[in-house]
């Protein structure tokens, strides 16, 4: 990442951070404190933050005596119902160390496709940010169906970034960056920067994350990064363990440049108190 890009990270005033199930559940539950410490440091600099967190189903599994992610929808919904409250409680316990209060926001794909619901969600998050509350966003798995759902929280995070007109989206996983091929294979090289519109020709997109827990991977992160970039939000893909360094502008991860046209539109005068315009996403 070039010096100018590192500066762009440090200068971002509104940031959406997304963390996956495998990074904050099971043996990695201790990384919640690592994540919260990094968020608190940015919060202390005056950054407005939104956290998109997977993990409700994975967190609920032990309470249902399940060892792996269930395949039937009803059991997924039951695990999410139990796990969501535990997950938010764990976040709030960690946030208490920094005197930060969290607010829970649960969304469905239908909410983002319906203009009224989308506006309500945007208004609620804007108010939470104005009150210096940390919105913690997740898919509402207890009412989501196989037919109508985001599919993964990387896409949800990209849509949230566009909804709140974020300057930066940070997509976290178990791997420090995107690579030219799956990072465990010989010859894999880190991709430091992806110019807007780059199709990543010749790149072998592999999986990211602890198998059997989450639903995302490198492919979903690339797709989400492109969706956010189209709306004018820059994207950084890196590992949860490196989130503190990432939010401080460290030279790591993979940077996706935002659309220059969308950036120009958001920088143009658009009326006192009005939200900056953004490119349309599905449902608009």
Specify binding-site residues for substrate: 54, 141, 153
Write the DSSP assignment of 68-123 as a string of letters: S--SSHHHHHHHHHHHHHHHHHHHHHHHGGGT--EEEEEE-HHHHHSHHHHHHHHH
Task: Give the span between the Cα atoms of 56 and 84, in whole angstroms.
Answer: 4
The distance from CA 239 to its chain's CA centroid, rounded to whole angstroms, is: 12
- In which region does residue 200 sit, left (phi positive, over 0), alpha (psi from -120 to 50) or beta (all else)? left
Contacts of residue 201, defined as CB under 8 A and 6 or more positions apart, other chains included, come to none
Annotated binding site for ATP: 18, 173-174
CA distances from 45 to 49, 109, 169 (A): 11, 33, 17
Which residues does the annotation place in the binding site?
18, 54, 141, 153, 173-174
Separation in Å, CA 159 to CA 6, 249, 282: 24, 23, 9
Instruction: Report the half-sphere exposure of 63 (CA within 13 A, side-chain side).
Output: 18
Give dist(CA 39, CA 272) in Å, integer. Answer: 30
């Amino acid at each position: 990442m070039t010096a100018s890009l590192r500066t762009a990270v440090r200068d971002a005033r509104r940031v959406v951070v997304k963390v996956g199930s495998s990074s904050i559940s099971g043996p990695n539950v201790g990384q919640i404190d690592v994540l919260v410490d990094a968020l608190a440091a940015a919060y202390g600099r005056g950054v407005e933050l939104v956290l998109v967190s997977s993990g409700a189903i994975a967190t609920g599994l032990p309470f249902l005596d399940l060892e792996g992610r269930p395949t039937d929808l009803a059991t997924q919904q039951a695990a999410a119902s139990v796990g969501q409250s535990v997950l938010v409680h764990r976040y709030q316990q960690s946030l208490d160390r920094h005197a930060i209060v969290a607010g829970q926001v649960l969304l469905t794909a239908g909410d983002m496709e319906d203009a009224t619901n989308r506006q309500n969600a945007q208004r609620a998050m804007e108010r939470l940010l104005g009150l210096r509350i940390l919105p913690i966003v997740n898919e509402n798995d207890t009412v989501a169906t196989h037919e109508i759902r985001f599919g993964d929280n990387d896409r949800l995070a990209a849509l949230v970034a566009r909804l709140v007109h974020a300057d930066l989206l940070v997509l976290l996983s178990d791997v420090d960056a995107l690579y030219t091929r799956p990072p465990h294979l010989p010859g894999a090289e880190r991709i430091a920067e992806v110019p807007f519109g780059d199709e990543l020709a010749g790149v072998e997109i592999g999986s990211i994350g602890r198998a059997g827990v989450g639903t995302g991977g490198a492919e979903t992160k690339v797709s989400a990064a492109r969706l956010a970039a189209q709306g004018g939000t820059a994207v950084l893909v890196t590992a949860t363990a490196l989130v503190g360094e990432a939010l401080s502008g460290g030279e790591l991860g993979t940077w996706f440049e935002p659309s220059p046209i969308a950036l120009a539109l958001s920088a143009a005068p658009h009326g006192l108190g009005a939200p900056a315009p953004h490119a349309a996403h599905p449902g608009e």
